[in-house]
């Protein structure tokens, strides 16, 4: 199961729509890619295992209308969900636990969500500043 987060610009898109039409996707999309790459690097630094680090990817989504293409940061490591959130003991329909000699559980080691939560605001601010500079350079 993939763990992913979208750099969600939904609230920002209303302003970004106007800017994107002025600046064009050739200017805006590389900025979005840069921020997604930065976030992916931070998530990789936080990832606890090498195979999870290797699975952190940035994927460009299809264009929707006049909006620039979105970027998604995700991990393709199959066990990243359980690493992030942990597991609880599993039971059969009869109520019997599935583990015999030990509890079949693992504590979570959150690495993805904390990276997003602690950096999203800064990345939004940086993106806004870059967009603002681009608009100002066009208006000069």
Instruction: Quote the radius of gyration of the chain (alpha carbons, Å).
Output: 20
CA atoms of 129 and 40, how far apart (whole Å) = 20
- Please state the pTM of the whole predicted model: 0.76
pLDDT-based confidence at residue 59 (cuts at 50, 70, 90): very high
Q: How many CB atoms lie within 10 A of CB 120?
A: 15
Residue with tokens 């805006």: 28
For residue range 96-138, what is the model confidence (pLDDT) as tens digits? 777 655 455 788 899 999 999 999 999 989 988 998 888 888 7
Phi/psi for 101 (5° steps) reads -95, -15
């Amino acid at each position: 199961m993939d763990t992913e987060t979208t750099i969600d610009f939904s609230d920002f898109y209303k302003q970004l729509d106007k800017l994107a039409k002025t600046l064009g996707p050739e200017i805006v999309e590389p900025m979005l890619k840069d921020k997604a790459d930065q976030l992916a690097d931070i998530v990789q630094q936080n990832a606890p295992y090498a195979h999870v680090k290797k699975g952190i990817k940035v994927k460009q989504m299809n264009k929707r209308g006049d909006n620039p293409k979105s970027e998604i940061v995700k991990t393709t490591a199959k066990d990243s969900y359980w690493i992030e959130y942990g597991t609880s003991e599993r039971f059969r329909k009869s109520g019997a636990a599935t583990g015999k000699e030990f509890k079949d559980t693992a504590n979570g080691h959150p690495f993805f969500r904390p990276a997003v939560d602690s950096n999203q605001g800064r990345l939004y601010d940086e993106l806004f500043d870059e967009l603002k500079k681009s608009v100002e350079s066009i208006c000069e």
